[in-house]
């Protein structure tokens, strides 16, 4: 039996290193989606629509959904500072969302 620590995700052959329980890939997924098994999930379009219409994030919105809503509000002409206030993020975060939306194909 190996004493080498494997990633906590079943079937993942990678070793996290140090005292970590997840490899870097799964750690990133955990951080991004709150779930190490989750790759890019399709965002909840309704939640995004509601957030855009109400100018307010819904409770439990995932980061990708907040980002999508932020980008949509940008397209509606809201200033970054206003979007940052709505989602309670730093204006720099809004600028990052915008630049990501230009380089990535939106879901
Ligand atoms: Zn892993």
Alpha carbon of residue 18 to chain centroid: 25
Running DSSP on this structure, what letter comes out for residue 21?
S
Cα gap 1→106, rounded to integer Å? 45
Count of domains forming the chain:
2
pLDDT tens digits, one per residue of 31-52: 877 878 777 667 788 999 999 9
Q: Taking the chain, what is the end-to-end CA distance rounded to the nearest angstrom?
A: 43
User: Residues 52, 75: one domain?
Assistant: yes
**Residues 65, 51 contacting (CB under 8 angstroms):** yes
Query: How far, in Å, is the centroid of ligand 1 from the Cα of 91?
Result: 33
Query: How far, in Å, is the centroid of ligand 1 from the Cα of 64?
Result: 21
In this structure, what CATH number is given to the domain that contains residue 54? 1.10.10
Reading the block at residue 65, the tokens are 């959904």
User: Residues 21, 57: one domain?
Assistant: no
Please determine, for residue 2, whether its predicted confidence score (pLDDT) is greater than 70. Answer: no
Query: How far, in Å, is the centroid of ligand 1 from the Cα of 32?
Result: 14
Tell me what the mean pLDDT of segment 11-29 comes to. 90
pTM of the model: 0.58
Where in the sequence is the domain holding 64, given as residue range(s)? 45-103
User: Residues 50, 99: one domain?
Assistant: yes
Query: How far, in Å, is the centroid of ligand 1 from the Cα of 24?
Result: 7
Nearest CA to 29 out of 17, 20, 40, 18 is that of 40
Query: How far, in Å, is the centroid of ligand 1 from the Cα of 76?
Result: 39
**pLDDT band, residue 103 (cuts 50/70/90):** confident
């Amino acid at each position: 039996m190996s004493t080498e620590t494997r990633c906590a995700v079943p079937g993942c052959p990678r070793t996290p290193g140090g005292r970590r329980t997840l490899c870097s890939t799964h750690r990133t997924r955990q951080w991004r989606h709150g779930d190490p098994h989750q790759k890019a999930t399709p965002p909840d379009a309704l939640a995004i629509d509601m957030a855009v219409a109400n100018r307010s994030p819904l409770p439990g919105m995932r980061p990708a959904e907040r980002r999508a809503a932020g980008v949509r509000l940008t397209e509606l002409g809201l200033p970054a500072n206003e979007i940052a206030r709505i989602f309670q993020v730093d204006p720099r975060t809004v600028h990052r969302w915008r630049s990501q939306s230009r380089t990535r194909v939106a879901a």
